[in-house]
Structure 1
Amino acid sequence: MFKNLPATCMVAALLCMFSAAPALAQTESDTSYVKPTLPKGPPPGQQPMPRQPMQQTEERPTLMDRLYTGGSFGLQFGTVTNISVSPILGYMATEKFWFGTGFIYQYQRVRTYDLRTGHRGAVTLQSYGTKFFAQQELLNLENINLGGRILAHGEYEVLRMQYAETNPNSGQVYRNNRIEATPMVGLGYRQSMGGRATADLYVLYNLSNSLYTPYRNPIIRFGLNIPFRR
């Protein structure tokens, strides 16, 4: 249909078509779809909810946290010199109650008297065995700024012991062996040594009426307690 139009009209028509194309493209971009965004933050006039602090669960002590080792050392002088060493393995059942077991080794030197000759001498004896003990805190002096704790202490030990015996006919002193059980009770004082380690001082009373018991009242002992995990 453009054959009957003059050349100048055709040129003008083409220029109009090319100038209208950017306008159409701009119109399409202006009318493109925009995804709506959700409002951020609380509505006007409403305060944000405070964050709740995370609750920390208290860890229960493990077996290694409750176990401790250490031992006691005993010393007694007189007619019978008694030196005892006792390593222990203890268990802290609660913050105020402990129990455990231990091994005992004792060295004794007993003065002797020969009735026939009137000679005075001494005989050495060695004993070993096991013991079981329990302790209960009675008073915590740390609460009144005096330091330390007062304990009730009880133990039961069984020894395969040597003892000195005198032959009534000859007056000769010789060694003999027997199994001796000894219950003991008393009080203790426990002092912290830094960390969880503690030092103990005990004053015990021997409840046995046996003539062969190796202890004379009162019994003084020193002990250490060292936890497996500090």
Structure 2
Amino acid sequence: MHKKIVISIALFLGFTIVSLGQDFIKEDANLPEKSKEASWKDRIIFGGNFWFGFGNIRNIDISPMVGYMIRPRLIAGVYLFYNYYEDKYWNFKTDLYGFRPYAQVILIKNINEALNIYSLTKTSIVFQAETEFMSLNKNLTTLPIITTDADRIWVNSILLGGGIRQTAGKKSSFTFLIMWNISNYIYYPYGNPVIRVGFNF
């Protein structure tokens, strides 16, 4: 079943990339020469997310991001992340940190326009792929197959998903993504799906 899901996703991505490639060619052909030579500075995107919660459970998450707009519909970049978790009731605390390179493809540029809905903002449908490298404490798992004597281990996971990207200016946008860990790594501390909420500018 797992292999069938992966094959289905691969086929979907293949058809999507071919279709988007044709759209890229059409978009480039219609752009004026000055637009084609846009400064690399104008293509850089910054953003990320910040979240915290206090009480018996303290949870702080900081995830800055930098990306580059390779094409009008293709963005690639990397997140750095740090998450601190403390449960006062169980006297437990830990932290997670690492990085995740990502690629984001805009499948539908403006769903409001496609549905003939008037809006001052533009809402896009996006697909995102990530490969996440996370450092966590070995004591988060009791599985006996961990043989290293180090206190921490690195976990690599592949996540795929999608969601919406709502623009609020030339480069500013809000993103809401639902991601799935398809590598099914036994040490991954989060269950599926993984929710990503962030801002870009």
If the length of structure 1 is used for normalisation, what is the TM-score? 0.58
Equivalent residue number for residue 193 of structure 2? 218
Q: SS at 2:41's partner residue?
A: helix
Aligned to 2:70: 93
| Partner AA of 1:197 in structure 2 | S
- Distance 1:182-1:81 versus aligned 2 partners, 3 A rule: farther
- Selected match of 2:134 from 152, 156, 159: 159
CA distance, structure 2, for counterparts of residue 90 and residue 66 of structure 1: 8
Corresponding residue for residue 103 of structure 1: 80
Q: Which has the higher helix share?
A: 2
- In the aligned structure 2, how far is the partner of 1:192 from the partner of 1:203? 18
Q: CA deviation at 1:194?
A: 2.8
In structure 2, how many angstroms separate the alpha carbons of the residues matched to 1:64 and 1:166? Answer: 44
Give the count of matched residue pairs: 154
Q: CA deviation at 1:58?
A: 2.4
The answer to whether 1:71 aligns with 2:48 is: yes
In structure 2, runs of 5+ residues without a counterpart are: 1-31, 144-149
Shift of 1:203: 0.6
| C-alpha contact 1:158 1:180 (8 A) present in aligned 2 | yes
**Pair member with larger Rg:** 1
User: Unaligned stretches of 5+ in structure 1?
Assistant: 1-55, 112-119, 169-174
CA contact (8 A) 2:45 2:171 kept: no
Deviations 1:176-212 (A, max 9, x none): 4111112111012011123320010011111232332
Distance 1:123 1:176 in 2: 16
Q: Which residue of 2 aligns with 1:190?
A: 165
Which 10-residue stretch deviates more, 182-191 or 134-143?
Answer: 134-143
Whole-angstrom distance in 2 between the partners of 1:58 and 1:131: 33
Give me the identity figure in percent: 27
Correspondence for 2:34:
58
1:73–1:207: structure 2 CA closer, same or farther, 3 Å change rule?
farther
TM-score (norm: length of structure 2) = 0.66
Partner Cα distance (2:142, 2:105) in 1: 45
In terms of mean alpha carbon deviation, does 148-157 or 201-210 score higher? 201-210
Contact kept? 1:133, 1:154, Cα under 8 Å: yes
**Shift in Å at residue 75 of structure 1?**
8.1
Letter in 2 for 1:143: E
Q: Deviations over 1:74-104 (max 9, x none)?
A: 789xxx9865321111000011000001211
Cα deviation code 1:15-72 (max 9, x no counterpart): xxxxxxxxxxxxxxxxxxxxxxxxxxxxxxxxxxxxxxxxx85251111011110013
CA RMSD after TM alignment: 3.0
2:16 alignment counterpart:
none
